[in-house]
Amino acid sequence: MEWALDIDRRWIWAIIFIIIGAVIIHPLGLPITVSPDTQKFYDTIQKLPEGSIILVGASYDIGAQGEITPMVKALAYQAFAHNLRLAVFDAAWVNGPKLAGQAIDQVAKEMGKKYGVDWINIGYKPGSSTTYQLITQDLISAAKNVDQTGQSLDQFPIMKDLPKVDKDHVAAIFAADIGSPGAGDAWLPYVSQPTGIPLLVGSITMSVAQNKPYVASGQFAAMLAGSRGAAEYEQLVGHPGAAAAQQDGQSLAAIYVTLLIVLANVAWLTTRKKAA
């Protein structure tokens, strides 16, 4: 067993890269236990009446795509499967609506949903807290009557049912949270609490701990916790994707490292007895 103690570390790392790369290209879809928070998130969406509008607060940037975009895609799969409608918007993060819009557009095309009817990308509108408050009074004016691509909002059928963001027109808000401004210091005080619209949150792993008190107090209706929460949500909606692949990679890498530890200990004990 002396050979096991002399394995070149480059081979060890190379095999890890191969394992992770393989499952990213071809996810295994290994089953994972769904947490109560993720189940509550899924159930909240599932109970919304057909035709309801969910406002997607795309408060994230390119660096958080790995965790947040899978959540947005899974939300689109669940929403479109139950004839719910989506509206993308943000007043603080420039790239968020672009990223969320691209993810939703992929799902919409796959499921035969039409832009302007089943979903709309209102886009990024500057102003931060002021704009967040304005959308609860007059969304089209707050958005300068243009969508992400510069088209007039009032030409789209979905906007006839979305004159402003209040409980009569929006059934739920999904807000990404990767920092400030985000769910707790923007969407909650300026939009969700004043209107009474339930706030669902997709949080990056680093922000989960600081967001837990909001969930416990009921201020957040439910929360997806990082890439693990995204993978659980993908599993519930029946469309395992990037987040599930990440979990597959982590699981297989952990098994591989455990086997290496066992092999190294067996080799060490064997060679030790031989030396004695």
Q: Where are the alpha helices (DSSP H) in 35-95?
A: 36-46, 65-81
pLDDT of residue 23: 72
Spatial distance between the Cα atoms of 122 and 125, rounded to a whole number of angstroms: 8
pLDDT > 90? residue 10: no
CB 134 within 8 A of CB 165: no
**Please, which pLDDT band fits residue 3 given cuts at 50, 70 and 90?**
low
pLDDT > 60? residue 100: yes
- Residue length, the chain? 276
Place of tokens 């990440």: 246
CB 44 within 8 A of CB 198: yes
DSSP states of 233-272: HHHHHT---HHHHHHHHHHHHHHHHHHHHHHHHHHHHHHH
Q: Which tens digit of pLDDT belongs to each residue from 230-275?
A: 999 999 999 887 777 666 666 666 776 787 778 778 877 777 666 5
3-state secondary structure of 162: coil
CA dihedral 193, 124, 241, 110 (to 10 degrees): 110
Which residues, 6+ apart, have CB-to-CB distance to 229 below 8 Å? 35, 37, 38, 41, 71, 202, 203, 223
Q: Which tens digit of pLDDT belongs to each residue from 193-206?
A: 999 999 999 999 99
